Amino acid sequence: MTGHIVLATVKADTVFCCDYVCCVVPCFAGFYNEIHGSDTCLPCRQGTYQEEPASAECVSCPSGKTTDIAGASSVAQCVDDVTVKQGE
């Protein structure tokens, strides 16, 4: 039987069993871990996003864009920043 089964949650990481082998998956998309080996995943701040899991930093939205929430996992979540005045 092949597949992924969530076995347990360990702080920020999730342990998966895949074909009788268990492995720890680091931070998910929308989160980052700035200290390698740390077990703390932080959500990307408003105005940033991260599409890849296991990242050390988040990516800023394009100029004039922001996110409505922290923890954005796609550039598609970057929307027009209404606090930015046109022409500046």
pLDDT of residue 79: 96
Three-class SS state of 48 = strand
Banded model confidence at residue 8, pLDDT cuts 50, 70, 90 = very low
Three-class SS state of 30 = coil
User: How far is 64 from 46, CA to CA, in rounded Å?
Assistant: 13
Higher per-residue confidence, 1 vs 83:
83
Q: Which amino acid is at 63?
A: S
Q: Record the pTM.
A: 0.66
Which two three-digit tokens encode residue 35? 């200290």
CATH architecture of 27-80: Ribbon (2.10)
- 53-86 confidence digits (pLDDT tens): 888 999 999 999 999 999 999 999 999 998 755 5
- What is the sign of the dihedral through the CA atoms of 10, 16, 22 and 23? negative
Q: In what order do the strands lie in the sheet with 21-25?
A: 4-10, 13-18, 21-25
Q: What are the boundaries of each domain within the chain?
A: 27-80
- 13-59 confidence digits (pLDDT tens): 455 455 555 555 578 999 998 876 667 889 999 999 999 988 899 99
